[in-house]
Amino acid sequence: MKFRMLLAVGVLCVCVVQAHAAKESCIDCHGKDNPKLVVDWESSAMAKKGMGCEDCHGTEHDGPTNVEKSVLPTIKQCSKCHEKQASQFMLGKHARAEEALSIPPMGKKVNKQAPVVFRRACATCHQEICKGGGQCDACHSRHRFSAEEARKPEACLPCHMGNHPQYEAYGFSKHGALYKSRGLDDAVPTCATCHMSKGDHMVKTSWGFFGIRGEEPDKKQAAIQKKVKKSLSMLGPVLAPDSFRPDMAQWNERREAMLDICADCHSRSHAKGHLEEGDKVVTQANKMASGLIFAADELKAMGELNQKEYFWLIRDKMHAQRMGMYINAFHQNPEGVLLDFIHFKRETMALKKNIQQKKEKK
């Protein structure tokens, strides 16, 4: 019995020594070739807990002649220690980002017409965050994998700006102003505070990414939304999986969850009022989008737009601006709401003027 215990201890010691030697070997090499990488790793929580490079990258790569044998870690490796977070991530839209890119016509068109643009634009976000089932380093940048870093709004910046301006909307809000003034602070709401409460990695809202409901209780709004949804289906993004809640039960569930989060800082009635104002902006954005679509439909029926021109007109003049209106509204950026409202007015009037001129010529 004593011999067996001594043998087990001996084997354990050998394993520890081998792991330590492998770690030192990696650091010796990469410390010369990629010193900043090593600095990040050595400051990480994982390094301080004694994990080695081989825990994530495997043991097959052991020198410059077999770099291709190094495992590029995905959520599968991370889930060994972070099972709860990995499971939550798999339930959310981020895990299906590649599907959201490959299903819609718009992504396919860009890839066909300008593949280099597709790879350096659309695919940079849509494929990198979910390659291999999920890439945790999309938010927890390698090799530090800092939870604090991922809680900062800047972690969301690369993907959530421009055509879907969540970062800009937050940055110009009172919440964003507080963050710029104080930095990370328990009383300062960031993207993670509202969308990843208590570290929940699922990330779902009531309206979803595209401001659409599977059920719309108001019949008038349902008819308007139907027209908008038809155009969004032509472009493709609304065809993406889990892009909106399919029924009011799920919509209300996510709304209540958001109100619970808001109530940490505000009265529930105050938060409810602000979110309902955002709902009204969704309604207004749909109404204005519907008007622009109607004018574009008329031009197309007159033979003044072919299908390709019609597709890109709807994409350029309706889609991003409609999203901008409600994204800015829910993120409390007043100027953003106004600018997209003005855009709709200006572009719709230009289309109507064009229609009138064409009719007069005939």
Half-sphere exposure of 248 (CA within 13 A, CB side): 5
Task: Return the SS3 of 39.
Answer: helix
Task: Output the pLDDT for position 19.
Answer: 44
* Residue 63: both structure tokens together: 């020198």
Could you give the CA distance from residue 155 to residue 141 in angstroms, rounded to a whole number?
Answer: 9
* Contact status, residue 130 vs residue 94, Cβ threshold 8 Å: yes
Check whether the bond before 274 is cis (ω within 30° of 0): no
Task: Output the pLDDT for position 107.
Answer: 81
Segment-wise mean pLDDT, segments of 10 residues, the chain, 362 residues: 48 45 73 92 92 90 90 90 94 86 80 90 86 88 92 94 93 96 93 95 93 94 96 87 92 97 96 97 97 97 95 93 96 96 96 94 80
* Contact status, residue 192 vs residue 150, Cβ threshold 8 Å: yes
Count CB neighbours of 225 within 10 A: 22
Could you give the CA distance from residue 125 to residue 147 in angstroms, rounded to a whole number?
Answer: 20
Task: Output the pLDDT for position 12.
Answer: 44
DSSP state of 319: I
pTM assigned to the model: 0.86
Q: Which helix (H) or strand (E) holds 22?
A: helix 2-33
Task: Output the pLDDT for position 105.
Answer: 80
